[in-house]
Structure 1
């Protein structure tokens, strides 16, 4: 187990031993709305379903498609998931870990440190022989005490300076970065000065995170310099959360730009770059 990841075997052992583990199912994918249905059809034992759109995000608006929830709302939700101080929280999904990473990031931002990502998600659990349960799990309310502001954040006004003086990492697919395709946001392209390191490349063919030396090599080869300020964005702050997690595994602290491209491209007057080269 690392400070960020837990393997299916390690989680199974902890659950079998009766350790205080709260498991969160964050089944979500861009363009799909069947996460809860898939959860009901089969989830890890005792897992509570967490809705990314309504629980891990505020309503869409000027802050983007997935703004951060308010601290008070998030604290109440975390208690509703059954989390207590002293628990270990494990978040998972079925689509590469980005949705689970949003829960990881928010809990860390709220001062809860013992939160892990299930490496490989529900697929890894099943491959390791783990059973799934059906139906809804309603947790007994927890008593966790949370605060806010423990993870670095950059807002839209601070992004240009970060891109100019540090490293701004765009975690989206290359074709979206280059401006060749934009399936959801109002403009195609990227924030000027950003570099493209797709978050999908942090995983191997089975959906597990690359080993730490491989992650370090990948980020260094892309131009990430840990001696400078580093920030990450994506379409709406979800895959960027996974990028922040991967960077942390590689020893790089990165700020999250929560509004990401959905906010930037919707705001009149913001410059837009295209092509493979930095803007």
Structure 2
């Protein structure tokens, strides 16, 4: 269940000592948010590293941010101080993109109460609530994580879904159209995929309300009886779309290999233009 929490509600939980807070600041142009974390974070928040804790490194054809192993994620969660039964609140400072990846991994690994801070760090500051500086090193936790509770799409599964269901590309429209590609080896999108960028789900730094999100997903054909999934550049920001879908009462899977895997795999067709499959060519 996609749950948001307000700054005031989080402040109450912190004062009661009844929450574990995770700071997942990450941006494509600034993947290491640890410096910003040290300069100011929600009191008690532990910094979570996207590159080493919420993903693992593999070959180029695996994508830039493959999912971590259950063992690796559990070791990271122990470092964060997580214990079975904890309430966990996650935030970042960029449209909950990094926070959603952590939310998705933890909820799908069996952690029952995981929430995202509505509005992120900016909302915390705007509420006039205090920041803490320096590192946070909690006592090691002992949470038990399970293997992911839902299947994720393989590259072949993504290709099949684009033809039989709805595959959403959440990257910026110009990347989807193939006009620019700042990171991956070739520009374009998976043939048949539709575009619904990350910013569409948000009102500034906050998620739109459930009714608005439900109507938004309907514009690309996602309804309760349609099988759908999302992909992005490297598998991180697609989780934001999953959170938004759950907030709207819908289900959305993830293709974690995303465009970074697709564009590094020889023989995969490429579409460009604003239509799902306007022009295609081989990788």
TM-score category, normalised to shorter length: over 0.9
* Contact residue 170 and residue 230 of structure 2 kept, 8 A: yes
Q: CA deviation at 1:163?
A: 1.1
CA contact (8 A) 1:102 1:242 kept: yes
Match of 1:59 in 2: 57
Distance change >3 Å, CA 13–CA 172, structure 1 → 2: same
| Pairs within 5 Å for 1:171-186 | 171-186=170-185
The gaps in structure 1 that reach 5 residues or longer are none
Q: Work out whether 1:82 is the aligned partner of 2:81.
A: yes
2:46 is matched with which residue?
48
Counterpart residue number, 1:31: 29
2:114 is matched with: 115
Aligned partner of residue 67 in structure 2, secondary structure: coil
Q: Which has the higher strand share?
A: 2
Q: Which residue of 2 aligns with 1:256?
A: 254
Counterparts of 1:3 and 1:101, CA distance in 2? 10
How many pairs are equivalent? 276
Three-state SS of the structure 2 residue aligned to 1:273 is strand
Which aligned segments of 4 or more residues in structure 1 are displaced greater than 2 angstroms? none
Q: CA shift at 1:210, angstroms? A: 0.4
In the alignment, the residues of structure 1 paired with residue 64 and residue 50 of structure 2 have an alpha-carbon distance, to the nearest angstrom, of: 11
Contact 1:236 1:259 in 2 (8 A): yes
Question: In the alignment, is the contact (CA less than 8 A) between 2:31 and 2:51 conserved in 1?
Answer: no
Aligned to 1:10: 9
Q: Hey, what's the Cα distance between the residues in 1 that align with 2:108 and 2:245?
A: 16
Any unmatched runs of 5+ in structure 2? 278-283
Instruction: Report the Cα offset of residue 3 of structure 1.
Output: 4.1
Hey, what's the Cα distance between the residues in 2 that align with 1:231 and 1:200? 17
Note closer, same or farther for the CA distance 1:18–1:125 as it changes in structure 2 (3 Å cut): same
CA contact (8 A) 1:165 1:228 kept: no
